[in-house]
A and B are shown apart, each in its own frame.
Chain A
Amino acid sequence: MPWFIKSRTKRDSQRKQADEIWIKCQKCSSHIFKQDFIDNHNVCTKCGWHGKITAYERIEMILDKGTFNEFNKKIRPSDPLKFVDGKGPYIDKVEKARNQTGLNEAVVTGAGKINGIPAVVAVMDFRFLGGSLGSGTGEKILQGSAYACSRRLPYIVFSASGGARMHEGILSLMQMAKTCAGIARMNERRLPYISVLTDPTTGGVSASYAMVGDINIAEPGALIGFAGRRVIEQTIKQELPDNFQTSEFLLEHGFLDMIVERSRMKDMLSSILSYYNR
């Protein structure tokens, strides 16, 4: 083997080792210990940047240990349009996402307790097809609200989504109406609904259940908005403010009740729910 290949292999393996130990913050670019980052629930220990976390990690953080009872675990996408795009069939992407994440859909739903207070939760997972809202996702979110109605429980939905799932065409758009019909029914029965918006919450998810919480809470620095930044720039041909479509921007414009750090989220949710006389 020539010397130059040998040395590159060595450097690669060194880098790989380094990647296993260190992680670079996407915001402040600091190198932080990966284990510290993980222990801090994917929040940068230097600047407080909130990275994405999986649905089950979040459930573990929010719900009391051993209280989570998962619903509709088997609901998974079908391929109603037999959709094929430039990179292949939708169904292949679904299988890949299922294998990589161990999830069947972009949301995990169930009931549990938050510091002793019972609630229904739906937690989206961005790793599953970008957290996109498909028919199965919509069904699970609707079923969550139906369970909340039947037991008169509060409902908390954690969003993390690029928007509607184009591969399911118009049926994905209809999930916006479907999930919101569930929220409307909760409103009719005077049951509290808290929406927690995490990075990112955009498109069809922001324009449906994520934005109509009785209380809207966001994690710091999350991207939240309707239209894509590039589309807007092309439309108005102007530069957009630096904090455009961030949690802070939305708080300033009156669309959020508060911004809450991940580490304080569980206690804030239980404090709010403690005001609810069931």
Chain B
Amino acid sequence: MKREFDFEQPIADIEKALEKLKNLADRNEKDINGQIEALQRKLEESKTEVYGNLTPLQTVQVVRHPQRPVLDDYIDLVFSDFIELHGDRCFGDDRAIIGGFARIDREKVMLIGHARGHTVEENVERNFGMARPDGYRKALRLMRLAEKFNIPIVTFIDTMGAYPGLDAEERGQAEAIARNITEMARIEVPILSLVTGEGGSGGALGIGVGDAVLMLSNSIYSVISPEGCASILWRDASYSAQAAEAMKITAKSLLELGVIDEIIPEPPGGAHADYVNTAGAMTPIILKYIKKLAPLSPPKLIARRFDKYAAMGKFNK
């Protein structure tokens, strides 16, 4: 099996040995099954070991794997009865943020998220998950709709950032994100946000002000991309490893900083290698938070959300 990342070499070595043994087994060699089993165990251990100790920059590599599951995959594997709703009622229908009604187990939710693709064609259609103001305005419209239907909002965050383009600036990228962040503070139904891929700065936060925020174990969430930070503070984008390290962008760091509530563990080998178990790990945790937030009255919910964000940050006084 081909492995893409340098740090996966120990896994690749075991896989190669395993392949050899299996070929021998095919030729009716005896007493090999025990060895195969042992090696398979070692393979799993090695995956756990390697993926349990990724550096921040290696995590960035994993999170950008082209086969990492995207929102469409989760819609298939985690949710059912998805009814997509289109358009921002101002300008257009951004394909980089999609949303609509969905069910998870027996719970009804408004699902909103950044949409990327796996292939170039899909990604061009989705603008690589980089939304324009129209996407953020559609998201806010759907959140208001969720209030009317009295169902919780679940947002999936997976974007390098909001789209940096002329048209986006003309239509008010900053205003659209600012409006969402402001209005999300007062939305009267529970908001649960999951960072499943890259949580790219304001483009992520624009749908990410949640009562609870969760992260997949190999996802990242940061104020600027490691490359962007390196090119400004090191004056050289090649220092992205240092920038990734310094900015504390991994799920583990964000949990320690109190910015997120829980980490959803990905299967050994990463989400890109095992969609079914990634979705399987995600579903019960989403349900747990939906049930936890459901009894809170709107005033309680809003006060709690305000207090949570008011307490963010560390300073001296």
- Show the binding face of A for B, using Cβ within 8 Å: 72, 74-78, 80-81, 83-87, 105, 134-136, 138-139, 142, 164, 166-178, 180-185, 187-188, 203-204, 206-212, 224-228, 231-232, 235-236, 238, 240, 244-245, 253-255
Beyond A83-B246, A184-B183, A184-B186, is A78–B314 a contact (Cβ under 8 Å)? yes
Question: How far, in angstroms, from A176 to B233 measured CA to CA in the complex?
Answer: 21
B165 touches A232 (CB 8 A): yes
Contact partners of B314 in chain A: CB under 8 A = 78, 80, 135, 168, 171
Query: Within 8 Å of chain A (Cβ to Cβ): is B10?
Result: no
The stretch of B101-109, B150-158, B174-182 that contacts the partner chain: B174-182
The reply to whether A170 and B249 contact each other, CB–CB distance below 8 Å, is yes
Given contacts A85-B233, A187-B182, whether A78 and B259 have CB atoms under 8 Å apart is no
A50 CB, min distance to chain B CBs, angstroms? 20
Say which one of B137-145, B216-224, B285-293 lies at the interface with A: B216-224
- Distance between Cα atoms of A224 and B181 in the complex (Å): 19
On whether the beta carbons of A211 and B312 are closer than 8 Å, the reply is no
Contacts of A180 in B (CB 8 A): 178, 181-182, 185
Q: Does B65 contact A (CB under 8 A)?
A: no
Task: Pick from A81, A178, A209, A227: contact of B312, CB below 8 A.
Answer: A178
- A-side contacts of B29, CB under 8 Å: none
Bound complex: CA A185 to CA B140 (Å) = 18
> Which residues, 235 to 254 on B, are CB-close (under 8 Å) to A?
235-236, 239, 242-243, 246-249, 253-254
B248: which A residues are within 8 A, CB to CB? 81, 169-170
| Minimum C-beta distance from A227 to chain B (A) | 3
Among A86, A139, A188, A227, which residue has its beta carbon within 8 angstroms of that of B313? Answer: A139
Contact of A207 among B178, B184, B229, B235 (CB under 8 A): B178
B170→A253 contact, CB < 8 A: yes
B: residues with CB less than 8 A from A are 162-166, 168-175, 177-179, 181-186, 201-202, 205-206, 209, 221-224, 229, 232-236, 239, 242-243, 246-249, 253-254, 257, 259, 305-306, 309-310, 312-317
- Establish whether residues B164 and A176, one from each chain, have CB atoms under 8 Å apart when the complex forms: no
A267 to B249, CA, bound (A): 46
Is there an interface contact between A174 and B259, defined as CB atoms closer than 8 Å?
yes
* Residues of chain A contacted by B178 (CB below 8 angstroms): 176, 180, 206-212
Chain B interface mostly:
helix
Known contacts A83-B246, A180-B181, A226-B202; can you find 19 more A-B pairs with CB under 8 A?
Answer: A75-B316, A77-B316, A85-B242, A136-B313, A164-B223, A166-B232, A167-B233, A170-B248, A171-B259, A174-B312, A175-B313, A176-B178, A181-B182, A185-B185, A204-B223, A211-B172, A227-B164, A235-B165, A240-B166
Assuming A166-B233, A169-B223, A170-B249, is B317 touching A181 (CB within 8 A)?
no
A204 to B165, CA, bound (A): 16
Which residue in chain B gives the minimum CB-CB distance to A213? B178
When C-beta atoms are compared, the residue in chain A nearest to B260 turns out to be A170
Assess the A86–B162 pair: CB atoms within 8 A: no
Complex interface: chain A residues within 8 A of B185 (CB): 177, 180-181, 184-185
The residues of A that contact B182 with a CB separation of less than 8 Å are 180-181, 183-184, 187, 208-209, 212
CB distance from B200 to the nearest CB of A (A): 10
* Contact between chains at B316 and A177 (CB < 8 Å): no
The smallest beta-carbon distance between A238 and chain B, in angstroms, is 7
8 closest A-B pairs by beta carbon, nearest first, are A135-B313, A227-B164, A86-B234, A136-B315, A184-B185, A206-B174, A85-B233, A174-B312
* Cβ–Cβ < 8 Å partners of B162 in chain A: 207, 226-227
In the complex, the answer to whether A170 meets B174 with C-beta atoms within 8 Å is no
CA of A139 to CA of B314, assembled, Å: 9
- Complex Cα distance, B179 from A211, in Å, reads 8
Q: Which residue of B lies closest to A81 (CB)?
A: B248
Tell me if A227 and B223 are in contact (CB < 8 A): no
Q: Is the beta-carbon distance between A81 and B247 smaller than 8 angstroms?
A: yes
* Contact A80 B229, CB 8 Å, known A168-B313, A180-B182, A212-B175: no
Is the CB–CB distance between B169 and A244 below 8 Å? yes
Nearest CB on A from B135, distance (A): 14
A180-B182, A181-B185 known; A170+B177 contact, CB < 8 A: no
Instruction: List 10 contacting pairs A-B, 8 Å CB cutoff, sorted by A.
Output: A76-B315, A80-B257, A136-B313, A139-B313, A142-B310, A169-B222, A171-B313, A208-B202, A225-B174, A254-B172
Q: Is the CB of B315 within 8 A of A78?
A: yes
Of all chain A residues, which has the CB nearest B235? A86
Known: A76-B315, A85-B234. A227 touches B169 (CB 8 A): yes
